[in-house]
Amino acid sequence: MIGRKKETKFVESPSRRSFMEAGSAALAAAAFVGLTANAQQREDTRKAEGDRSSSNPGQENKALLNENPNSNMPPPTDHGDIGPIWYSFDLARKRVEEGGWTHQVTQRELPPSTEITGVNMRLTRGSFRELHWHTADEWAIMLYGNARVTVLNPDGTMFIDDVSKGDLWFFPAGFPHSIQGLGPDDGCEFLLVFNEGMFSEDNTFLISAWIAHTPPEILTKNSNLNQSAIAKLPTDELYIFPANLPGSLAQDKAAVGGKSVESPIRYTFKMEAMAPTKKTSGGEVRVVDSHNFPASKSVAAALVTIKPGGMRELHWHPNASEWQFYLAGKGRMTVFMPPGRARTMDFNANDVGYVPPVAGHYIENTGDTDLVFLEMFKADQYVDFSMNNWIRRLPPEMVTSHLNIDEATIKKIPAENQAVIAG
State the pLDDT at residue 43: 58
- The residue count of the chain comes to 423
Average pLDDT on 98-106 reads 98
**208 Cβ contact partners less than 8 Å away, ≥ 6 residues apart:** 130, 131, 234, 236, 237, 238, 239
pLDDT for 19 beyond 60: no
230-259, pLDDT tens digit by residue? 999 999 999 999 999 999 999 999 999 999
State the pLDDT at residue 42: 53
The whole-angstrom separation of Cα 419 and Cα 422 is 10
From the number of C-beta atoms within 10 Å of its C-beta (0-12, 13-18, 19+), residue 264 rates as exposed
Average pLDDT on 285-311 reads 98
pLDDT for 7 beyond 80: no
* Closest alpha carbon to 179 in 246, 118, 255: 246
State the pLDDT at residue 183: 95
pLDDT for 364 beyond 90: yes
pLDDT for 39 beyond 60: no
Residues forming the active site: 375
115-152, pLDDT tens digit by residue? 999 999 999 999 999 999 999 999 999 999 999 999 99
Measured on CA atoms in the order 7, 12, 311, 339, is the torsion positive or negative?
A: negative
Model confidence at 54, pLDDT cuts 50, 70, 90, reads: confident
* Closest alpha carbon to 272 in 285, 256, 257, 253: 285
193-205, pLDDT tens digit by residue? 999 999 999 999 9
Model confidence at 100, pLDDT cuts 50, 70, 90, reads: very high
